[in-house]
A and B are shown apart, each in its own frame.
Chain A
């Protein structure tokens, strides 16, 4: 088991990376490659790897490594690369604060509280799950209502099961993965209920985790009530109308002792808020430029802190970019700044990064608001690309090449996903 790679923290760092998950590790490697010297990764858990360590299912790395890995395997690949360098890792550690003059206040079980200085920082704290409070599900406060990720931690890392018979609310990927995982562990899964008319997880997970195990998925349906004094005894589920109001006349009860919530992730931005970074209300993550730099000079961000990704491969790619720009920042080799702002238009919820520049290539990530078949993605009137279908659950990415922008002289570009017309 890899814990700390250091016995003593240095007083000064070039780059401090907050978080040792896939984003943090890729960012540290990016910073190293760009020439940063003293790099520190601080991770909250006892081992680096982040949430990947509890994701023991396969399906990771198809894009990045061109082979199918489990979460821990994917994390291990990155960890080994980090260990070949002299990047410091401090685990079991928490960054309490980063001041405007880049004094970092760090605490850890092994090192106590330290204040160190850094030239740049990369925020890679990941995300957290939305909870019952966020959707205000009525009913009792019975035990047995928990997020799918916490259930995953119980099953895969602590070695206990969350109950005997479960209902899953929300079709997020963790919920789908847990539907299969619990079935394999002998916990009965009564069904997955999704309030939206479309699933919120990857299509491959709908097929591999639900269809292959005969677990029903009920769209436009939600949990309308939770019953049970001590432990959950049953839930009431009901179809919803177009305003998402449950139709109680068509409701039915499902006996169960467990309700797993897979109702979405929220970027973990405690620290970003403390630093008063500009936050995008749509992504709930910091606004970033094409260097993944936030509104605070020398503070970069990447991974689920910026926006929720559906594939870790894209996290690594984005994080490597953030890290190499943090490295370029400290070695004073930054590329020119951005000169074009991206505006999410028709059927586009958001774009990351928020700005780009005309002198280099960018990958722009975006999500659509609703499913659409035979669509076309338009970047202003400079570029368009046909997409066979788009789904809210599957991130769309677009390579923006400098040649698209050769004859463009504006300062904003609208991104639209519209029906294809012959």
Chain B
């Protein structure tokens, strides 16, 4: 069997493209080297749907940012994951920063971003009283939102699979050949013949392009460290807070996440190793020192977890999206910030490219745009909780104490595709709270073991060699 389209890479870009393509009656497969989708760059992302005004209209990323921004409401509605347009404030701490804010405002207005307002000090501190009282002005953008990028990946892929996508995880692409008009992708899980390849391999997109023998480009990783703070600080700021940007960076942000934690970061450091996900003392110091200039009440003492992510950066600092010199091979590469925001617009663009390249795409009648919305037990009313626990006793049992996640929600995560502890954590939030899994890890592992019919020693944190416990060896007989 020959596929019409094979997507390499199950990050938010691959997942959005997959879901978009399943609107059409085609045969498609998505190959992901990790155990679950979204486990690469997408998992370690700030989760901001950018307002639309930051990117220059002369760049592809600047154009797709605003287009993508407008598409997220529908997607989140259909797929039932959280999205809040909480707005953002870019804060000026000195007079000489005011022209930058003005320029951002003008740039946004030219792109059609609505609602941009310049707030003076009084308004700024009235709306966000925890800001540095010396802040002099702020640019308010109501269009900025927050989502959980991993939730987006899981929901998009679940919906794509519901509509006929074939998902193959743990499949590392080893080689790519082209004979006549058919490409063959060789992986550790077999060969996949296909007419079109979408190269959405993130940090490794250059390597995939090289295997296919198309015009080369280079992806370099830019590392960002992020720090998550205790829920005690919930409500410290209401909006995403940006410092005044410099020509090279949007700076270090204060992000009230969808779940009510505060996240601070990211740093921006070019690294050589595409697997370098280390956090550092210097990174933490930079982050806290810089955010405290804008929101002085933030302290490293409230940190409950930290992580690093890598952005895939090309020489041009812009997205590379389009067909190549070899028919059927399409690059979607160099998708750094604001890639998450732009993802739905990128997916539509890829559809158009495929059409132009000769793949007929006629919408199918039986496309199902939605998936069942996951139950979040603690946000239900008492009456709903009583009814639910009578119907399904698994919802009566709290497994994760910090985030109050029930056994029912964890079982649902597994039934929707979680294969690892991180898969459960990112779908249900079990283990994401202040005890970081100290209480619930054992129980989550037991549930995975039971539902997947795997011994406990084979359960992993995130696939590969990330085992958690080992068997006791036989004692001397």
Contacts and interface: CB of A to CB of B under 8 A. Distances in A.
Query: Most chain-A Cβ atoms within 10 A of its Cβ — which of B303, B402, B438, B464?
Result: B438
Interface stretch (A138-146, A324-332, A380-388): A138-146
B475 to A, nearest CB: 9
Query: Most chain-A Cβ atoms within 10 A of its Cβ — which of B279, B404, B467?
Result: B279
Interface in A163-216: 163-164, 185-186
Contact of B436 (A114, A115, A131): A131
Contacts of A143: 460-462, 465-468
B464 to A, nearest CB: 5
A115 B390 contact: no
A97 to B, nearest CB: 9
B454 interface: no
A382 to B, nearest CB: 37
Given A134-B304, A143-B466, A128 B439 contact: yes
B126 interface: no
Contacts of A362: none
Contacts of B417: none
Contacts of A186: 473
Given A112-B390, A113-B385, A143-B460, A128 B435 contact: yes
Given A160-B456, A230-B465, A109 B438 contact: no
Contacts of A129: 435, 438
Given A111-B396, A129-B435, A160-B456, A105 B472 contact: no
Query: Most chain-A Cβ atoms within 10 A of its Cβ — which of B275, B280, B306, B398?
Result: B398
Interface in B93-134: none
A162 interface: yes
Interface in A77-129: 92, 94, 96, 105, 107-115, 128-129
B477 interface: no
A364 to B, nearest CB: 28
A112 B386 contact: yes
Interface stretch (A22-30, A147-155, A343-351): A147-155
Contacts of B396: 107-113
Chain A interface main SS type = mixed
A162 B307 CA distance: 23
B469 interface: yes
Q: Place the interface of chain A in its size category.
A: 35 or more
B382 interface: yes
Nearest to B389: A112
Nearest to B232: A273
B169 interface: no
Given A112-B390, A133-B305, A159 B472 contact: yes
Interface in B295-311: 300, 303-307
A134 B230 CA distance: 10
A164 B471 CA distance: 10
Contact of B398 (A94, A132, A146): A94
Given A109-B396, A160-B456, A139 B466 contact: no
B66 to A, nearest CB: 34
A136 interface: yes
B385 A161 contact: no
A44 interface: yes
A297 interface: no
Contacts of A139: 278-279
B460 A133 contact: no
Interface in B362-387: 378, 382, 385-386
Contact of A140 (B277, B397, B407, B473): B277
B270 interface: no
Contacts of B472: 159-161, 185
A128 B434 CA distance: 9
B466 A110 contact: no
Contacts of B468: 143-144, 146, 162
A110 B469 contact: no
Nearest to A131: B436
A141 B308 CA distance: 9
A160 B404 contact: no
Interface string B278-304: 111101100000000000000010011
A68 interface: no
A131 B435 contact: yes
A185 to B, nearest CB: 7
20 contacts: A44-B401, A96-B378, A107-B398, A109-B396, A110-B396, A128-B439, A129-B438, A133-B436, A136-B279, A136-B281, A136-B300, A138-B279, A143-B460, A146-B468, A153-B442, A158-B446, A163-B470, A230-B464, A230-B465, A231-B467
Interface of A: 44, 92, 94, 96, 105, 107-115, 128-129, 131-134, 136, 138-144, 146-147, 149-150, 153-154, 157-164, 185-186, 225, 229-231, 268, 270, 273
